[in-house]
Amino acid sequence: MKRSLGVLKDIRKSNKQRVINRRKKKKLKDALKKIVKLKTKRSALKAYPDVQATIDKAVQDGIIKKNTAARHKAQLMKHINTLK
């Protein structure tokens, strides 16, 4: 079956957006892992604002929901508070 030009454009757009969304989700996961790997409380607290900004940006871009972001932030702070 022949595809119209509009359908082909939609396919191109969705493929581009899928790549962008996957890249953003990967960046978010890497940021979360970065905090968990840190050994000292001081270094974790120093890195936390960057990770928090990444989480907030993911919410703004629609990658994750607001409550999911709040849960991630709470879990990270709980983890940081257990460090020495």
H-only helix segments in the chain: 5-37, 41-60, 66-82
**Closest to 64 measured CA to CA, from 38, 16, 31, 36:** 31
| Structural domain of 34 | 25-82
With respect to residue 60, please indicate whether it lies within any of the assigned structural domains.
yes
Identify the pLDDT of residue 75.
96
With respect to residue 71, please indicate whether it lies within any of the assigned structural domains.
yes
Q: pTM for the complete prediction?
A: 0.85
With respect to residue 29, please indicate whether it lies within any of the assigned structural domains.
yes
Average pLDDT over residues 53-78: 97
pLDDT band at 3 (very low <50, low <70, confident <90, very high): confident
With respect to residue 12, please indicate whether it lies within any of the assigned structural domains.
no
Give me the number of domains the chain comprises.
1
Average pLDDT over residues 38-66: 96
Identify the pLDDT of residue 1.
75
